[in-house]
Amino acid sequence: MSPDSPVQDRITRYWDQHAPAYQRFQEQRLAHPDYDAAWTRVWRDALPDDAETVLDVGTGTGHAALTIAALGRRVTGIDIAPAMLDHARANARRRGHDIAFVQGDAVRPAAPGAPFDALVSRYLLWTLPDVDTALRNWRRLLRPGGRLAVVDAPWHAGGMRHSDTDPRARAYDAEARRALALAEADDITAWQERIIAAGFADVEVTPLTELYELDGVHGVATDHHRTLQHLITARNPDTP
């Protein structure tokens, strides 16, 4: 599916318009010492010590990119929504991080610096058309032996249900839901299976129980429900 397809256009427009609210909530989370520490542990454990260069696909307002940059890695973030990138760049400047943010399509990303030692994504694959094409392209952006690290969850197990007045109802209409292979998946194994099918090796799934417990104490975003997130790591087995 093209980045200019009607489905992708509606999804991009939604996230572009939702960027200010998303920024407020993500900044609140990053500013909370418990969440900041928890996410630092997630990415520190996910990335090998020799993963110096990291591509954050679907970076949004830069949540993962900022945390990983603070670990001393060189990070490039890519996102299709311009308003998200505006916030990401401002967040990096405020924190004194030198992160390259570029606009682009997550399914067919073109980012300076490839091949990367690691590629990460957070809360992206569920809302991505052409997941299988994306994962194959992500492998090509990784060096041989490079690490894939994905954080996601079955956010809409049982089906997406939005009221007619919710902007998500138009973005994630019936046509979009048919195009998004993981949007209504019931279990994280759906992510695992597609990553394996894309040719990645050593695929491991880790439940992020600490984040789930924190969400139980502090709550989640408006109109969302608490869901157990997972970290999926894998290796690009390609050889030179």
Tell me 142's DSSP state: E
Residue at 146 is within a domain:
yes
Q: Given this model, what pLDDT does residue 221 score?
A: 86
Based on the structure, what is the number of domains in the chain?
Answer: 1
pLDDT at 100: 97
With a cut of 70, list the residues of the chain below it in pLDDT: 1-4, 239-240
Flag whether the pTM goes above 0.85: yes
The single residue listed with the structure tokens 């079955």 is 154
Q: Is residue 240 part of a domain?
A: no
| CATH, residue 143 | 3.40.50.150
Full residue range of the structural domain in which residue 170 is found: 6-235
CA separation, residue 32 to residues 36, 39, 169 (Å): 6, 11, 31
Distance, CA of 120 to CA of 43 (rounded, Å) = 9
pLDDT per residue over 51-71, tens digit each? Answer: 999 999 999 999 999 999 999
- The reported pLDDT for the residue numbered 230 is 98
